Structure 1
C-alpha cells in the first residue's frame, strides 16, 4: 500500500524524538514539523493538519519537571491517539446485518469508482461469514454492466439477478429484491448506475430505486485517488441518497488515500471497508484504531484473526499436536500450506506487530513466497513415514536427505533448513506446553473469553506496552518461530526455556501479568 510510506515517515519521526537523550521543545517542534509534512504530502487537508499539530503541541508541551521516560511514552501515545482522532467518525451507528432476515444493501457512487467489483467483494465477505447472499444488477445505463456483474458473481459462486431486455432500472431492482426475499436470502446487494453530481436524471433514478427496494443500508463507493475531493462528492450524494457508510477503493495504489480518508471523516460519514487490491478477497474492514495500528507498524492482530476465521483452514491434528508439545514434519507441511492460502504474504505481514511487514518489503514478496513453496515441495517429496516423524530419521539415515533433495529438485542445504525449521516449531510447542502446565487452574479457559481477547487488543494498541514486549523479545533473539526460515534472515530464532524464564523476571512482564490477574481474577 502506498500509505506505508506515510507510516514509515511518521514512525521515523517518532523514533528520532524518542531516541534523543533529552526531549526538549526543539525535539518536539521537529517531530511536529516532520509529521505535518508527511500528512500534507499524502494529500491530507492543511486545515486538518494544522488542527492536529495544535492539539499535539498542547499535549506534548515540555515541562522541566517531566520525567524523560514519561515524555517519550507521552509522545508515542499522543501521536497514535491524535492520528486516530483525525480519521475517526464518532457517535454514528453503523448498520450490522442480521441472519435469518433479509438485509438489503444498495450501492451508489461515481462512474469508474469500482462499484460493481466492490459489490462482489462485499458479497464474498458476507458469504464467508455464513450469510446467504444474492446480487442484483440495477445498472441499465452502462453497456456491459450486467455482463460484468454476472461474470464476477459466477466466479465467486454468488447468485445474481439482472435483465438484458428490461431498460427500467427501478423495475429490475424491485423484481430482483422480491425474488431473493422470497427465496429467504439474508444479504441482497443492489448495484446501481454510476453517476456524477451534474446528472440530475440519474440522481432521480437512484432515489426512485431506494424508495422501491427500501435498503437497510446505502453504501457509497469512492475512489481514494480523488483525495480531498472525496468530501465534496460525499456531501453531494448525501443530499440525494442519504447513504449511511462509505467504502474507499484503490487504496493500494495511490498516495492520496490519506487525503480521502481524512476528508470523508470530516464529513461525519463512517468508512466501513477499504479496497486494497483487484482480487475479490481484497476488502478489509475499517476502524480508525486498526488502520492507524497497521499504518504505524503496531499490527492488526484482530484483523488477522478475523481473516483466518473466514478461510476455514484445514488444521487436521496440527494444533492438537502443538498443544501437546509435539510437532512433526507433516504438521509443518500443513501449516506452510495454510500460510500460502491466507493470501499475499505482504498483506499478512502488515497485520503483525514488530515491523515484520517492513522486513518483508526488504526481502521481497516474490522471493519469500518462492521460498515457502520450495519448502512445501521438499516435504511433498518425503515418504509418509518421514513426514510423521520428528526428523530424527534423517539423522539416523543421511541418505534420505540426498534422496529428498533430488526428488524435489532442491539442495541438501535446503532440506536441512526444513528440518531445522521443524525443530524450532517443536521447541515452541514444548515451551507452550510447559507454560500451559504452569498456568493457574482455569486460566486456559479464561484466555478464550471475549474480555481477555479485548484486553489483548488494547495491549496491542498501547505503544508503550508494545515497546516493552518488543524489547523483551529482542533480548531473546527476535520473533519466535521465524529464525532459520530461508529468505527471512536476521529475524532471530526460538527462545529457549531459559530465555522464557528471563522474560518472566522482566519488571514490564510482571506488571502486565499483574494487570491481567486483577482483570480476570486469576
Structure 2
C-alpha cells in the first residue's frame, strides 16, 4: 500500500487533515478541551477549502455527538475520533458512482471554461475502455472552434464523430448509431433563457438517459447555484467536477453538489484523456488523508498491536526480530504508519532509507542458518559467520554488523522492560492504547 502524495491544490486540505490526524494520534490523552480544539482545527481546514459554512458546522456537530454517543467495540477514544472524522467526511462528499455499462445517451451540459468538450472525449475514452462503442456529437453551434476541437479529440481516441450545421438540422435528423452517444451541447458565460430553450429542445429530441453538468472545481461553492439552475431547466442526473488537480476549492465544489442531492459522477484529475475518474467518496477521503485504504490500514494497525504484545512473551532472536519487521512492513511504507502515529513530518529521504534498510536486514536474516537465527550469540562471537552471511546476502560485513547492533538495542530494551514490573505495565498499556494506536 503506498501513500498518496497530493501534488494538486487539494493537498492544502489533505495536508491540514493529515496534520490534524497526527495531532490526535500523538496526544497522550484526549480530554474535552483537546477534543474541542481539534474540532476547531477541522472546521478551519474545511472552511479554507471553501466548504459551505453550514455543512462544516453540521459535520462538526455530528462529530461531537457521535463521540459522546457511539461506542465502537475494540476502539480507543483516539481511534473513535479518527474513524468518526473519516466517516463524516465521506458523508459530505457523497456516494460512489457506478455507471451503467450498457447503451446510453448522455447529454453533457456546462458553461464556458468548465472543460465540457474535453470531458466529453474523456467519457468516450472511458466507455470505450469498458468495451462499448462510443460516438461524439457536437451540438455547440455558437463556438466556432468547438467542432474542430471535438473532431480532433475524437480522432485521437479513435471514436466516431458527428456534427450539424444548426440546431434545426440536428432536430430534423435521425440520431447516429452507436452504443454510447455523447452529446456536447453549447455553453455560455451564464445560463440564459436562449440556452435553456435550446437545451430543452435538444433534450426532447435526444431523450437522454443521463444529463451530466460539467463544472470546474475553481468555482467552489458556486457549484450549488449552477447545479440548481441547470437542474431546474433540464433535470440534471449527475455532476462532473473538472480541474480537481489544480484548485484549492475542490472540497467546496464536491460538497456543494451533494447539498443539491445531485450525485458526483466523474472527476477530472488532469489534462490527459485518461485522467477522468469515477467518483468514490471513500477513495477521495482516503486520498485526502494520505492513504488509499484508510479502513484497511486501521485494521492492520490493530492486528500489529497484538503481535507486538507477543514480544513480551516470546524469546527475542533473529527469527522473532525478522517476524516483527515483516509485520511492520505489512502496514505499507513507513510514512503511512508514522503519519497515523502522529509523526507526519518525517523527511522522505529518512523514510526511504529506513525502508531500504529493513529490506536489507530481511535478506541478511534469510542468509543465516536456522541455528544462527535461533541463537544470536553464535553470530556475535564469530566474524567468519558475519562474512559468510554478508556474501550470501549480497551485502557487506558493515551492514551485517549494523543489523546486529539494532538487534542488541532491541534486546536491551526488552530486557529492561521484563525486569521492571512498572515499566512492563506501561509498555503493555502503550501497546493497547497509545503508541501503536491511531
Give the TM-score range, shorter chain. Answer: 0.5 to 0.7
- Report the counterpart of residue 289 of structure 2 in structure 1: 296
- Report the counterpart of residue 21 of structure 1 in structure 2: 28
* Contact residue 17 and residue 288 of structure 2 kept, 8 A: no
Of 97, 103, 107 in structure 1, the residue corresponding to residue 101 of structure 2 is: 97
- Report the counterpart of residue 373 of structure 2 in structure 1: none
Does residue 77 in structure 1 map to residue 75 in structure 2?
A: no
Q: For 1:66 and 1:238, how far apart are their aligned partners in 2?
A: 40
- Point out the structure with max Rg over C-alpha: 2
Does residue 51 in structure 1 map to residue 58 in structure 2?
A: yes
Cα-to-partner distance string for 1:416-449 (whole Å, 9 max, x where unaligned): xxxxxxxxxxxxxxxxxxxxxxxxxxxxxxxxxx
Aligned ranges for residues 51-450 of structure 1 at < 5 Å? 51-61=58-68, 70-88=76-94, 96-98=100-102, 102-163=103-164, 166-168=165-167, 171-172=169-170, 175=173, 178-180=175-177, 185-299=178-292
* Contact residue 94 and residue 244 of structure 1 kept, 8 A: no
- Report the counterpart of residue 391 of structure 2 in structure 1: none
Q: For 1:44 and 1:82, how far apart are their aligned partners in 2?
A: 14
Deviation at 1:490, TM superposition (A): 3.8
Aligned ranges for residues 466-485 of structure 1 at < 5 Å? 466-468=300-302, 475-476=325-326, 478=329
* Contact residue 300 and residue 331 of structure 2 kept, 8 A: no
Q: For 1:16 and 1:190, how far apart are their aligned partners in 2?
A: 48
* Contact residue 225 and residue 254 of structure 1 kept, 8 A: yes
Aligned-residue CA RMSD (Å): 3.3
Cα-to-partner distance string for 1:79-108 (whole Å, 9 max, x where unaligned): 110101112259xx965131xxx3111101
Using the TM superposition, name which of 194-203 and 150-159 deviates more.
194-203
Deviation at 1:36, TM superposition (A): 0.7
Cα-to-partner distance string for 1:345-393 (whole Å, 9 max, x where unaligned): xxxxxxxx5xxxxxxxxxxxxxxxxxxxxxxxxxxxxxxxxxxxxxxxx
TM-score for the superposition, normalised by structure 2 = 0.67
Deviation at 1:38, TM superposition (A): 0.5
Deviation at 1:464, TM superposition (A): 2.5
Q: For 1:273 and 1:174, how far apart are their aligned partners in 2?
A: 32
Cα-to-partner distance string for 1:175-208 (whole Å, 9 max, x where unaligned): 4x6232xxxx211101000135452111100110
Distance change (3 Å), C-alpha of 1:130 and 1:66: closer
* Contact residue 251 and residue 275 of structure 1 kept, 8 A: yes
Q: For 1:12 and 1:24, how far apart are their aligned partners in 2?
A: 19
Aligned length: 326
Deviation at 1:474, TM superposition (A): 8.2
Q: For 2:219 and 2:145, how far apart are their aligned partners in 1?
A: 25
